[in-house]
């Protein structure tokens, strides 16, 4: 399987650097990026880094974005956090492999932000790339949903192993190592698909709507309580934001579909919510105690298990606090946690200013705001959003969505005349069917 993955990556990168049209290059990059983030994510733990396809591909695309020196692509919002990490490594935190690994994983998420901004800019510019993006995300969801169904009926495909298989038996996980991961990835995919359900392109609209339905099915089959609640809250919020549709059946079609799926699996869902939440209260108490010891600078990125596990037996077994916000607060301290979450908060605030606007790209702002209840629920009840590949996908989706409504609100005032002329020539060639070679004659 790994050989097939690397072969696909090689093909994608060859296509990326061919003298192809911009939408083709962007499509090749997006396809490879989604494969390594939303189908076969392969990274180390939060405190370690390895040479894997996910790190290599996303970092490479992110570096292309950084080296493009384009204002909307370079992750400027993360400069204060990067400076803070450099200061902490030099003067505050102990020199350990966990701290270095945790730091690199944060930098990896920053590069994923750049990758999302770069591809999001192409999504905004080229209609054919928009159709391709919707199609590939929908296809990934269809594939994962089919695998989940096969797993539930007992077909041994992409089985979980070890302790996960013992503790989480009977839950679907798709191609991921844990059932909770697929729900997080699919909720993030909904951020990208929900705007397409309002697309003027009929095919994109149908693909996206079906993708949302199958994504909800897969989330239910994974039986992750936080993901189910988060997805339901997101769908409801999205529908409430569609004031332009009025009180029509179209506006509430997705909540109705979610409700029908919930009724279909009601007994399993209720049984899942009746289960014990384990030692979450203990983990939160231990985390609060550690935060009281190191409130300003924290214990260091990726070092939670090493630091807290030195005096708590359960943590020493590899169990961090099941709360994304508290985990970052303990590791980075109050200052670092504020700087870490600041870019995401800034984008959310900007998106809120677009809620009542109906220009092109503003549906992406509404989808991002609809995601916030899911983000809070999932983040407050678990730490999985900080897993390297998931955090990278969060950054990617945020930046991709931001590229739609931030550039839209700036209305092209930062685009040079030369860039506008190049885009005009490209559109003329597309409309007239003249290739680059013929146009040069």
Cβ-count burial 48-77 (b if 16+ within 10 Å, e if not): bbeebbbbbbbbbbbebbbeeeeebbbbeb
92 class by beta-carbon count within 10 Å (0-12 exposed, 13-18 middle, 19+ buried): middle
Three-state secondary structure call for residue 367? helix
pLDDT band at 90 (very low <50, low <70, confident <90, very high): very high
- pLDDT over 80 (residue 408): no
User: Which pair of tokens denotes residue 196?
Assistant: 């397409």
pLDDT at position 327 over 70: yes
Task: Supply the pLDDT for residue 50.
Answer: 76
382, 323 Cβ separation under 8 angstroms = yes
Mean pLDDT throughout 394-415? 75
Q: Provide the residue count of the chain.
A: 441
Both tokens of 51, joined, read 């040479």
Provide the percentage of residues in the chain whose pLDDT is more than 70. Answer: 87
pLDDT at 265: 87
pLDDT of 243 reads: 84
Give the per-residue pLDDT at 20: 57
Q: Encode pLDDT of 200-249 as tens digits.
A: 899 999 999 999 999 999 999 999 999 999 999 999 999 999 888 887 88
pLDDT at 415: 42
Confidence bin at 268 (pLDDT 50/70/90): confident
What average pLDDT does range 49-67 have in this prediction? 87
- For residue 251, the Cα-to-chain-centroid distance in whole angstroms is 25
433 pLDDT tier (thresholds 50, 70, 90) = low
| Dihedral-angle region of residue 154 (phi above 0 means left; psi in -120 to 50 means alpha; beta otherwise) | left
Name the least confident of 134-143, 333-342, 431-440: 431-440
State pLDDT tens for residues 294-322. Answer: 999 999 999 999 999 999 999 999 899 99
| CB-CB contact of 202 with 196 (8 Å) | no
CA distance 35 to 32: 5
- 36: Cα within 13 Å, side-chain hemisphere: 32
Specify the pTM: 0.88
Residue 352: C-alpha distances to residues 355, 357, 366, 380 (Å): 5, 10, 8, 22
Could you tell me how far CA 243 lies from the centroid of its own chain? Answer: 27
Per-residue pLDDT at 13: 57
CA–CA distance, 217 with 340 (Å, rounded to integer): 33
Q: How far apart are CA 54 and CA 45, in angstroms?
A: 13
pLDDT tens digit string along 341-384? 999 999 999 999 998 888 878 999 999 999 999 999 999 999 99
Task: Identify which of 329, 327, 343 has the alpha carbon closest to the alpha carbon of residue 114.
Answer: 343
Tokens representing 184? 């997080």
């Amino acid at each position: 399987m790994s050989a097939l993955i690397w072969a696909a990556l090689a093909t994608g990168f060859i296509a990326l650097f061919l003298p192809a049209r911009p939408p083709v290059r962007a499509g090749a990059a997006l396809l490879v990026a989604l494969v390594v983030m939303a189908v076969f994510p392969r990274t180390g733990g939060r405190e370690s880094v390895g040479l894997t396809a996910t790190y290599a591909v996303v970092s490479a695309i992110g570096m292309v974005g950084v080296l493009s020196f384009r204002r909307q692509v370079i992750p400027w919002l993360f400069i204060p956090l990067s400076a803070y990490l450099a200061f902490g490594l030099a003067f505050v935190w102990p020199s350990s492999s966990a701290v270095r690994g945790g730091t690199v994983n944060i930098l990896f998420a920053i590069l994923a932000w750049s990758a999302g901004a770069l591809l999001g800019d192409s999504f905004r510019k080229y209609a054919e790339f928009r159709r391709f993006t919707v199609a590939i995300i929908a296809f990934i969801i269809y594939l994962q949903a089919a695998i989940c169904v096969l797993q539930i009926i007992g077909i041994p495909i992409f089985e979980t192993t070890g302790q996960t298989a013992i503790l989480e038996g009977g839950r679907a996980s798709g191609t991921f190592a844990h059932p909770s991961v697929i729900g997080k990835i699919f909720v993030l995919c909904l951020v990208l698909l929900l705007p397409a359900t309002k697309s003027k392109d009929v095919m994109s609209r149908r693909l996206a709507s079906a993708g949302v339905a199958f994504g909800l099915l897969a989330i239910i089959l994974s039986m992750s309580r936080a993901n189910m609640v988060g997805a339901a809250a997101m769908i409801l919020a999205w529908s409430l934001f569609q004031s332009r549709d009025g009180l029509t059946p179209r506006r509430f079609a997705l909540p109705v579909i979610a409700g029908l799926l919930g009724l279909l699996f009601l007994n399993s869902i209720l049984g899942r919510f009746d289960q014990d939440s384990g030692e979450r209260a203990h983990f939160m108490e231990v985390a609060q105690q550690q935060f009281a010891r190191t409130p300003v600078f924290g214990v260091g990125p990726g070092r939670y298990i090493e630091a807290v596990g030195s005096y708590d037996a359960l943590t020493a077994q590899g169990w961090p606090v099941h709360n994304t916000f508290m985990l970052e607060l303990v590791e980075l301290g109050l200052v670092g946690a504020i700087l870490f979450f600041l870019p995401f908060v800034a984008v959310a605030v900007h998106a809120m200013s677009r809620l009542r606007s109906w220009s092109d790209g503003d549906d992406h702002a509404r989808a991002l705001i609809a995601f916030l209840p899911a983000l809070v629920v999932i983040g407050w009840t678990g730490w999985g959003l900080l897993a390297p590949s998931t955090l990278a996908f969060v950054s990617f989706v945020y930046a991709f969505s931001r590229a739609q409504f931030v550039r839209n609100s700036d209305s092209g005032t930062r685009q040079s005349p030369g860039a506008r002329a190049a885009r005009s020539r490209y559109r003329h060639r597309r409309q007239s069917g003249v290739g680059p070679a013929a146009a040069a004659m």
